[in-house]
Amino acid sequence: MTAERNLVRLARDWIAQDPDTWTRAELEAAVADAERGTPSALADLHDRFDTRLEFGTAGLRGAIGAGPNRMNRVLVSQTAAGFAAWLLSRESSPSVVIGYDGRTNSRVFAIDTAEIMAGAGVRAILLPRLLPTPVLAFAVRQLEVSAGVMVTASHNPAADNGYKVYVGGADGGAQIVAPADAEIAERIYAIAAGSRATDLPRSSDFETASEEVVDEYVRVTASLAGAVPAPISFVYTAMHGVGWHTARRVFVDAGFGEPISVREQQEPDAAFPTVAFPNPEEHGALDLAMATATTAGAELIIANDPDADRLAVAIPADGGWRRLSGNEVGSLLGWRAAERLATAGADGTLACSLVSSPALREIAREYRLDFAETLTGFKWISRAGGLAFGYEEALGYLVDPDKVRDKDGISAAVDFLTLVSELKAAGKTVEDHLLEFAEKFGAFASAQISVRVTDLAEVPRIMTKLRDAPLREIGSIRVDRVEDFASGFGSFPASDILRFWTTDGARVIVRPSGTEPKVKVYIDSSSTEGTGPRRQAAAQAVVDELDAGIRAILA
């Protein structure tokens, strides 16, 4: 009973400092049920108060609700105050630019952050309206500020929101990495332990950025296209997010003309009513875009996720549509980047995450460029020395590192649209170009499996099982060796990653997701034997066998 009384006391203390009417009422109802001894209410309070959303290199992300294990105004205020304290420990007059998307409470959290920052003595600049994450990342560099905050949960489920942090100066506007995350977290925890959110100093003396920063982002991004040799009819979907108005301006200014919009998904809607998950990788997420493209007779589908930092592409195939994988798009854009460097007689680095296709390494080798393989996440990719192009298979691409140091789904769309225009002018299709890729570099096939869990404890159990009983075969294919990153591997720091290499050179990588309750599996194979079509078929056959085998193992 003492533990239960203490739990209720923590909840009541939270209610006393919560400025949000909805989350306060939600928690008051839970407390009332808990005091009546309702087991489910006690379990709910334990879930809210036994742990806290952990601030890490991905910032914060979680379901909206009351308590330290949810996204809410108390937690955001504590986070903003802790981040402000960290910035003030680094420089005497720090500054921060703050952006937000169209999710529930995004603007509220952004204003809370601006007021807390200003109250702490940090110059705070709020972007003029809800905008894509790449605009915020661009603004960090463009405004030459110390840091940036983007309130977004990107492609997470509708119930979630998040808090992403960037650092300017020597970090160039990239997302934070260790040890900054731990240092900021320590400041946040000190604030949470020593002050109520209602007592934190606030000020309305923050700035609102002019539209000029958006105009400049549009200008620079549109300029990537250069000449557009052939017109393209293409469909665009913002996936109920904030991409439409900015992306449309970019496409028009770049010379591609008006995109055909998926009207049902054009404007921000925090409920994401037409998709199960607002992630263009998910099955069915592009159904409306494909239906729109079929009706319009379009040649291409371009999709951004809700905060527009990711890009999905679909092309005509067998009377319907096929979404290209992130590795296919990344390989084609990487090839373009290598060609640009070769034309300019310049050096540069091509970089991708270790779970992305080995194809980019082969492109770099062919063009005698530097290649960097990093841990997952653009916070690592964007820090590659001499970066000219970076990507990760989860639909993230960086085609213009001088402009922004994070993935950018709008500029990547411009680069891909330019490629399609050039191919059309030459009488070719994207499928033709993929075949040319296979003939020049070899064929690379990939697949991804997501094992979603409801109990987060199941994730480490899956990883432990694979470590305790290392795989000797996956399907009918023998495993040659296993690389465990738990204690660090090569130049990589300790990470919860397992990499299995087969005797024929294919690989399977298993790791927990960094933002969602699931285990992710990445499968890659390649072939350089025979013609382009034979290479493609051979690589795909190995991937199919490994896919079926690992599914059976994890079932």
What's the confidence (pLDDT) of residue 511? 93
Q: Each residue of 432-488: pLDDT tens digit?
A: 999 999 999 999 999 999 888 877 778 888 999 999 988 999 999 999 999 999 989
Give whole-number Cα distances, 151 to 60, 76, 99, 111, 190, in Å.
Answer: 9, 10, 6, 10, 22
Q: Could you name the CATH architecture of 442-554?
A: 2-Layer Sandwich (3.30)
Burial of residue 546 (number of CB atoms within 10 Å: 0-12, 13-18, 19+): buried
Catalytic residue IDs: 154
Class of 224-441 in CATH = alpha beta
Q: Each residue of 412-437: pLDDT tens digit?
A: 999 999 999 999 999 999 999 999 99
Cis check: omega of the bond before 358, within 30 degrees of 0: no
- With a cut of 70, say whether residue 515 has pLDDT above it: no
Give whole-number Cα distances, 252 to 101, 225, 485, in Å.
Answer: 22, 11, 46
Whose CA is closest to 474, among 548, 538, 525, 527? 548
Whose CA is closest to 392, among 358, 356, 446? 356
Residue 513's pLDDT band (cuts 50, 70, 90): confident
Q: Each residue of 299-332: pLDDT tens digit?
A: 999 999 999 999 999 999 999 999 999 999 999 9
Whose CA is closest to 165, among 182, 181, 154? 181
What's the confidence (pLDDT) of residue 529? 95
Three-class DSSP category at 126: strand
Residue carrying the six token digits 């225009």:
421
Give the mean pLDDT of the chain.
95
Give whole-number Cα distances, 342 to 96, 144, 366, 437, in Å.
Answer: 38, 31, 11, 17
What's the confidence (pLDDT) of residue 452? 83
Give whole-number Cα distances, 358 to 369, 439, 443, 477, 550, in Å.
Answer: 15, 16, 10, 19, 20
- With a cut of 70, say whether residue 54 has pLDDT above it: yes
Q: Could you tell me where in the chain the CATH 3.30.310.50 domains are found?
A: 442-554
| Beta-strand runs (E) in 324-463 | 349-353, 370-374, 387-392, 396-398, 443-452
Q: What is the largest CA-CA distance in the chain?
A: 76
Multiple choice CATH, 54-210, 1.10.600.10, 3.40.120.10, 3.40.718.10, 3.40.50.970: 3.40.120.10
Of residues 116 and 512, the one with the higher pLDDT is 116
Residue 2's pLDDT band (cuts 50, 70, 90): confident
Q: Could you tell me where in the chain the CATH 3.40.120.10 domains are found?
A: 54-210, 224-441
What's the confidence (pLDDT) of residue 111? 98
What's the confidence (pLDDT) of residue 205? 97
pTM over 0.85: yes
Q: Could you tell me what percent of the chain has a pLDDT over 90?
A: 91
- With a cut of 60, say whether residue 1 has pLDDT above it: no
CA 500 to CA 471: how far, in whole Å?
Answer: 8
Strand 396-398 relative to strand 370-374, pairing? unpaired
Cα angle 411, 414, 417 (rounded to 5 degrees) comes to 150
Q: Each residue of 155-203: pLDDT tens digit?
A: 999 999 999 999 999 999 999 999 999 999 999 999 999 999 999 999 9
Contact 135, 125 (CB under 8 A): no
Q: Give one DSSP letter per residue of 478-510, joined into a string.
A: EEEEEEE-TT-BTTBPS-S-EEEEETTS-EEEE
| Beta-strand runs (E) in 378-462 | 387-392, 396-398, 443-452
